[in-house]
Structure 1
Amino acid sequence: MFDVEIILRIVIAFILGGAIGLERQWRHRTAGLRTNTLVSVGSALFVILSIKISGDTSPSRIASQIVSGIGFLGAGVIMKEGFTVRGLNTAATLWCSAAVGSLSGMGLWDIALVGTVVVVLAHISLRPIANYMNMRPVKMDYATTTYDIKIICQRSALDIIRIAVTEILNKSKFQMKSLKSTQEGPEETVEVHAEVFIYGKHVFMLENIIRQISEQENVLSVSWEIIDKNDD
């Protein structure tokens, strides 16, 4: 005989997971209607399984394993495009769908329903607020600007130039992220690239550093460019 209550738990997990996934599908996200529904139903099934199995199998132990498993699934929807990370909200939603499914599997339907409403409202109501805050102009002092300083010098003086550049930058407010050398032009010259960052956009301070580097012996040319501007 079928257990009506167990079937009802699975159906509720299906409905609530689908409700969360519907909002994600509407916005054409990677994990949409089907993914969130399956995560919710699957979590419910695992919890029900732990309840039905006799022995020392605790539902809380199964729930902890579900959380770990969803972590791997969520990592699959997170993508990095240049300096932008996408999919974090989708991964968090999958985590919430698993929680809703687990609650449904335990028969805690009221909490599962409230959780579903809160998750959907978070996506719908908080999005305009987040967009508004992202569109606000950022005070320059709180923006991190990353520069690439390009130095062309004689190959024979490479080690000396690298040491000099490091000492000059250490005395400034700039923080050095990397210092690398590449062979791009004639064999007797070499390019040194120093990637540095600072809070704000201190062009005059940077020009002073460029002047100090250009005054070093065996330096043929020095230039700089902005490669990233990020808001902390």
Structure 2
Amino acid sequence: MADLDFVLRLLLAAGCGAVIGLERQYRSRTAGLRTQALVAMGAAAFVLFGSELGVGQGSLQIVAYVVSGVGFLGGGVILRQGLSVQGLNTAATLWCSAAVGCLAAGGLVVPALAMTVLVLVVHLLLRPLGRLVDRAPDAHAETIGAFVLTVRALDEREQEVRELLSDALESPDILVHAMSSHPDGPAEKGVVVLEAELLVEGDAAELLDAVLTRMSRDTGVREMSWRADDTPLEVRSRPRLGRA
């Protein structure tokens, strides 16, 4: 391959990456203009290097290494904040920029340009569509929150109440993070407190109230409540019961 052809393919890769990066830079994303251009150009350089060596399937092997390497690079821009994950779009865009670089390295000018245009179309046209879907009536119904469910039960019925609680929490929308128990203290002897740390998806009030309703049928349960950090304490109590 002539040196001029080598350089032109690198420039094509860098130019397509820069076009993709312009949109990311305008959105103030982590991987912007320079990062996208460098990823595309670097992927092209590696593939071109493999073809220059002229070793059988060397170029295809290098493409596979580029794919896995960019995957690790994309992992660096993915951030987790609480229960939400940010940076997935940026990581996917880096992967697409690497693909554009590989296409450019293969001399596939039209596919490289088409890939660049499609990446921009996805970001520019599907973004408003995604926001429109987010504004649908049920869009905010599927939320995830952390809650603590507390059950005060008779000490002698702890095992039965614990099993009943585990059964009541068996739901695809409820994830039990931890469950613990401790004596109620000097306030009332013979009573144990069970606490379950939960992650609830959807309408937490409806789901947890259903759990409390089911638990209230057991005579070993004295009092129940659930709470969240950002909501007031919701209490569902039953009258005091004597020992069974």
Give the structure-1-normalised TM-score. Answer: 0.81
Shift of 1:122: 1.3
For residues 21-32 of structure 1, what are the structure 2 equivalents within 5 Å? 21-32=21-32
SS of match in other structure, 1:34:
helix
Q: Of 182, 198, 220, which aligns to 1:195? A: 198
For structure 1, the 5+ residue unaligned runs are: none
1:8 Cα deviation from its structure 2 partner: 0.8
C-alpha distance in 2 between matches for 1:119 and 1:176 = 37
| CA shift digits 1:37-89 (9 cap, x unpaired) | 11001000001101110323432221111111111111111112222221111
* TM-aligned CA deviation for residue 189 of structure 1: 3.7
Do residues 180 (structure 1) and 183 (structure 2) align?
Answer: no
**Letter in structure 2 aligned against 1:92:** A
Question: What CA distance in whole angstroms lies between the structure 1 residues aligned with 2:183 and 2:226?
Answer: 17
Higher RCO structure, 1 or 2 (CA under 8 Å, sep 6+): 1
**Higher alpha-carbon deviation: 96-105 or 190-199:** 190-199
Distance 2:112 2:183 in 1: 61
Cα 1:24–1:182 change in 2 (3 A) is farther
Distance 1:53 1:145 in 2: 53
Deviation digits for residues 130-150 of structure 1 (CA, Å, limit 9, x no counterpart): 11111111179x747766432
Root-mean-square deviation over aligned CA pairs: 3.1
Q: Secondary structure at the match of 1:153?
A: strand
Q: Equivalent residue for 1:222?
A: 224
Deviations 1:125-179 (A, max 9, x none): 1111111111111179x74776643213355643332112234455xx7755215
Aligned to 1:56: 56
User: What residue identity is the alignment partner of 1:103?
Assistant: L
Decide whether the 8 Å contact of 1:174 with 1:196 is kept in 2.
no
- Count how many residue pairs are aligned between Structure 1 and Structure 2: 223
Structure 2 alignment gaps of length 5 or more: 231-244
Structure 1 residues 216 and 73: CA distance shift in structure 2, 3 A: same
